[in-house]
A and B are shown apart, each in its own frame.
Chain A
Amino acid sequence: MALTGQLEIFNFVDIFQIIRKDKKDGILVVENDEKKFAVYFKEGNIVYIREVKKVFYIYLDIEFEAVLKKEGVKKEELYRLLVGKLPVLLAVKKGKFSFTPGFIKYSEDIDVYVPLEKIIMFLSRQLTQEEVERKISDEKLVYEKAENWEETAEKAFLTEKEKKILDAIDGKKTVEQIKDETGIDDIYLRRALYGFLAVGLIKRAKKKKKLGFNLTRGLLKKIIGVIKGL
């Protein structure tokens, strides 16, 4: 399944969150009137960014080695090129994107130099108020740490303030309480939480479901019967 959409609606943090979750190989195509990029993912991490004139060029090669040969790039240059191209890609705010899982084949010696978690946190620190409110929309929200959060935190290269926020997350405190406890300003806190969610450091804490009416199994069965008979 190709994942497609508009950058005006889904920012790079959202897109990378989805790609990271499945740890897939694949190609993310980002295009607008001015530029067209192919972003190569290996196991959910970016290994190479290529600018092309036409999108169909991207799909001419299924071997990553062939892509590098065509571009005249040596494997030992991948890190330098990636670091140079990332800011250019991330500056694109308008246009469409499409992620096609699979398709490209990597040899085992293609290494991941920049963990996607680090890139996601970097981007989260620049989100606008409108963007953070898409997910961290409420001061009453409660988060808990995800499994393997320590391992993820290492890859995310958190700032001292972000570490403080992460320490305060315990599955009980609301966003409001964390803000009061840490004394960290609202937008910084929300950006951090948005990033934590995207890299899989935290998840929404499950609250015990409450019913606002004393329903019995017998009454519920009756309601189901009435609905079925409508």
Chain B
Amino acid sequence: MEEKGKKQKQIKIVVSGPYAAGKTQFINTVSEIQTVQTEAKTTKRGEKEKKDHTTVAMDFGKIQIDDEHVLYLFGTPGQSRFDFMWDILGKGMVGLVVLVDSTDPSTFHEARKIINFFESRYPSPFVVGCNKQDLEGAWGPEDIRIALDLDEDVKVIPLVSLDKESVKNVLLELLEEIAKHI
């Protein structure tokens, strides 16, 4: 990526999670550019009821750090039929945010599968963002920790991905985790 005549170094954070967990919104909320999206119309029964469009390859957003460095946030597709993209996106990441829809426990098993996938192949620091905490019926982070069978040392953070401060908080918690491994 060329900018201002210099080759910029890319730092990659991956945002993953089950279908309709709010990954695209999460990236949109903090990206300096309009998120580059690769969406298609939802056609599968059960998915159509949740949203009209879905990410099929990846989303990405950008945050400029300095003249030399740029932070990219890559959002994975939520459905496991696109899991080949998880492999592509996992390579070279510095950290992972796994989002869950706190109001939809039927997706928690999928979140566990995603964590299993990345932990076994690309074991980077990760945090879990419990999205949609502003909605009625949202499970609390500690209940989600139990449901996802997460270890005590994994950060499970309340999140409203429409709220910039909330998204920033999740990213800062991840960066704190990353700092432990430098």
Contact = CB atoms under 8 A, between A and B. Distances in A.
A230 B172 CA distance: 12
B155 to A, nearest CB: 13
A54 interface: no
Contact of A141 (B30, B116, B164): B116
Contact of B147 (A10, A203, A222, A230): A10
Contact of A220 (B122, B123, B178): B178
Given A134-B112, A209-B125, A212-B12, A141 B94 contact: no
Contacts of B64: 226
Contacts, number: 113
B41 interface: no
Interface stretch (A1-9, A24-32, A86-94, A181-189): A1-9
Interface string A127-148: 0000001110110111000000
A60 interface: no
Nearest to B181: A209
Nearest to B140: A1
A142 B116 CA distance: 10
A212 B120 contact: no
Nearest to A22: B146
B93 A212 contact: yes
Contact of A215 (B91, B94, B105, B120): B94
Contact of A133 (B12, B113, B149): B113
Interface range on chain B: under 10, 10 to 19, 20 to 34, or 35 or more? 35 or more
Interface string B97-121: 0000000011011001100110111
B119 A220 contact: no
Nearest to A142: B120
A188 to B, nearest CB: 20
A32 to B, nearest CB: 17
A211 B171 contact: no
Contacts of A223: 11, 65, 69, 71, 175
Nearest to A4: B143
Given A138-B116, A224-B175, A230 B91 contact: no
A204 interface: yes
